């Protein structure tokens, strides 16, 4: 469980982000945008984008942390081999943890990323 947020599992290069944005598939909800693209690797990599439209540095840091925690809930239930980029839209600045988790679950479902055997549950 503890390996899902390590550095190898993160997208770090600007070039990789540009690849996902240009070649990936996007899904959007009121507070989030998800870009997904198969990466050909035996693991998933994630990136979280919080632009200055959200607010000051404190607001951006909190949004990114909430998204990371929310992703941690579902990481074990997702198909492998994808690069995922979550972008926070301005309304995400006021999210609490439950709202962030619900939004992410909807996006992952609409992107068809949950494994067939998994039954997604919001964990305590």
Partner RNA sequence: AAAGCAGACUGGGCAGUCGCGGGGGCUUUAAUGCCUUCGAGGAAAGUCCGAGCUCCAUAGGGCAGGGUGCUGGGUAACCCCCAGUGAGGGUAACCUCAAGGAAAGUGCCACAGAAAAAAACCGCCAAGUUAGAAGUCGGAUGUCAGAGGUCGGAUUUGGCGGAAUCGUCGAAAGAAACGAUUCCAAAUAAAUCUGGCAAACUGACUUCUGACAUCCGACCUCCAGCUUGGUAAGGGUGCAACGGUGCGGUAAGAGCGCACCAGCGGUCAGGUGACUGGCCGGCUAGGUAAACCCCACCUGGAGCAAGACCAAAUAGGGGAGAGUUGACGCGGCCCGCAGAUCUCCCGGGUUAGGUCGCUAGAGACGGCAGGUAACUGUCGUACCAGAGAGAUGGCUGCCACCCCGUAAGGGGAACAGAACUCGGCUUACAGGUUUGCUUUGUAU
Handedness of CA 70, 81, 112, 93 (dihedral sign): positive
55 by Cβ neighbours in 10 Å (0-12 / 13-18 / 19+) ranks as middle
Q: Where are the beta strands (DSSP E) in the chain?
A: 25-28, 32-38, 45-50, 82-88
- Residues near 86 by Cβ (< 8 Å), separated by ≥ 6? 32, 33, 34, 46, 47, 48, 49, 67, 71, 104, 107
Minimum CB–partner distance for residue 91 and RNA (Å): 17
Whichever of 13 and 40 has its CB closer to RNA, that residue is 13
Q: Count residues near RNA (CB under 7 A).
A: 32
Contact pick of 19, 26, 29, 65 for RNA (by CB under 7 A): 65
The 79-118 site mask, x for binding RNA (CB under 7 A), equals -----------------xxx--------------------
Examine residue 122 and tell whether it contacts RNA (CB under 7 A). Answer: no
Radius of gyration of the chain (CA): 14
Applying CB under 7 A, does 49 fall inside the site for RNA? yes
Binding-site member from 2, 40, 42, 117 for RNA (CB under 7 A): 2
Binding site for RNA (CB under 7 A): 1-8, 10-14, 17, 47-49, 56-58, 61-62, 64-66, 68-69, 72, 96-98, 124
């Amino acid at each position: 469980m503890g390996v899902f947020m390590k550095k190898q599992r993160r997208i770090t290069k600007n070039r990789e982000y540009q690849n996902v944005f240009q070649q990936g598939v996007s899904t959007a909800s009121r507070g989030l945008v998800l870009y997904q693209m198969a990466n050909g690797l035996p693991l998933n990599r994630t990136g979280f984008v919080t632009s200055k439209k959200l607010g000051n540095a404190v607001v951006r840091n909190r949004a990114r942390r909430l998204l990371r925690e929310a992703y941690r809930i579902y990481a074990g239930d997702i198909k492998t081999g994808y690069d995922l980029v979550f972008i926070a839209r301005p309304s995400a600045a006021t999210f609490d943890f439950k709202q962030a988790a619900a939004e992410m679950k909807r996006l992952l479902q609409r992107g068809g990323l949950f494994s067939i055997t998994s039954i997604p549950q919001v964990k305590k």
